Amino acid sequence: MKPAARRPIPLAQPALLLRRFPFGESSLVLHVLTPGAGRVALLAKGAYRPSSGYFAVFDLFDTLSVRWSARAGQELGLVTRAELVTRRPGLASDLTRYRAALGLLELAHLSAREQHEERGLFAWLEGALDELQRAVVDPRLVALAADLALLREHGLAPALSACASCGARPAERERSVPFSAALGGRLCLACASAERARGRAVEPIPLNALRVAESLMGATPAMLAHTHIEAGLLERVRAFVERFLEYHLETRLRSRRSPQAPLR
Ligand SMILES: [Zn+2]
């Protein structure tokens, strides 16, 4: 199949850097998220030269305004102009916030489409980075709420109260409930048995972890600011939400796995 013809994008686009790689002596290859064109790969020539016009502009986590030109037969668009719009310096100075922010960039990179409008995703990422910069809410809580919001944005929110398979509302007598990422969330006992009989994975999730995920689904920053969750419980919620995300994004979230994400 021939790649779709690239439409020229004449106006500057708001952009958030998802990844950046040094290229040659003084240039950078950038993967950026834009509301109007989704994920875009760009070449910023001479980005490390003070005379380039965008020296020291391309930092992770900042909102930029970027103009570029597509080049016939080239993978990378060429940056023609770039300006800083919003700096978020707090994210690089605190390791917990830095890692939460890197995890958001990675999620956005995995789920952004190329040559497609991604207004919802852009607003999601910018809002979550703002929240981390404000440093009012625990960064792990911001990341978890962002994971759930992204699942919802993609229409993939896990079933947390009714059975994902038959829709029944199971009685909650046990301390854990059966859960299947493949089937889309929690299961009633009958559907869980049927799924196990087919040789498919069903894992037990603590009921209180499920309840916390439910309360975080759709929580506003103001609500998060007043939410306090004990660290062990937060970790259990994070673990099952992350496995759910991984299953549905069909990949591993690398920056969340590495114990020490490299500082760039
Ligand atoms: Zn069921």
Taking only the tens place, the pLDDT of each residue in 72-131 is 788 899 999 999 999 999 998 899 999 999 999 999 998 899 989 999 999 999 999 999
User: Which range of residues forms the domain containing residue 156?
Assistant: 136-264
Query: Do 142 and 48 share a structural domain?
Result: no
* Beta strand segments in the chain, E: 13-23, 27-34, 38-44, 63-69, 77-86, 176-180, 185-186, 203-206
C-alpha–C-alpha distance, residues 212 and 196, integer Å: 26
Q: 176 and 83 share a domain?
A: no
Distance 189 CA to ligand 1 centre (A): 7
Q: How far, in Å, from the CA of 246 to the mean position of ligand 1?
A: 23
Rounded Cα distance, 171 and 116, in Å:
43
Quote the tokens at residue 126. 């910018």
Beta bridge pairs of residue 195: none
CATH code for position 55: 2.40.50.140
> How confident is the model at residue 261, as a pLDDT?
41
Q: Do 262 and 144 share a structural domain?
A: yes
**Within a domain: residue 77?**
yes
Lowest-confidence region among 60-74, 76-90, 209-223, 241-255:
241-255
Pair 261, 141 in one domain: yes
pTM score, whole prediction: 0.85
**Banded model confidence at residue 262, pLDDT cuts 50, 70, 90:** very low
The pLDDT value recorded for residue 166 is 96
Asked whether residue 158 is assigned to any structural domain, the reply reads yes
Asked if residue 141 and residue 256 are part of one domain, the reply reads yes
In this structure, which residues have their CB less than 5 angstroms from ion ligand 1?
Answer: 163, 165-166, 168, 188, 191
Structure confidence at residue 13 (pLDDT)? 93
The count of domains in the chain is: 2
**pLDDT at residue 263, rounded to an integer:** 40
Of 54, 64, 53, the C-alpha closest to 87 is 64
Q: Does some domain include residue 3?
A: no
Domain identity same for 66 and 147: no
7 within a domain of the structure (yes/no): no
Regarding whether 178 and 237 lie in a shared domain, the answer is yes
Average pLDDT, the chain: 88
Same domain, 140 and 66: no
Instruction: Please tell me whether residues 71 and 189 are part of one structural domain.
Output: no
Domain annotation covers residue 190: yes
Is the pLDDT at 143 greater than 70? The verdict is yes
CB neighbourhood size of 49 (10 A): 13
- Write the CATH number for 148: 1.20.1440
β-pair type (203-206, 176-180): antiparallel
Q: Is residue 32 part of a domain?
A: yes
- The Cα–Cα gap between 240 and 242 comes to 5
Ligand 1 center–CA 106 separation, angstroms? 34
Yes or no: say if 79 and 30 are a contact pair by the CB < 8 Å rule: yes
Question: Longest Cα pair distance anywhere in the chain, in angstroms?
Answer: 68
For residue 177, which phi and psi values (nearest 5 degrees)? Answer: -125, 150
The more confident residue out of 161 and 259 is 161
194 near 214, Cβ under 8 Å?
Answer: no
Q: What's the 160 CA to ligand 1 centre distance in angstroms?
A: 12
pLDDT band at 43 (very low <50, low <70, confident <90, very high): very high
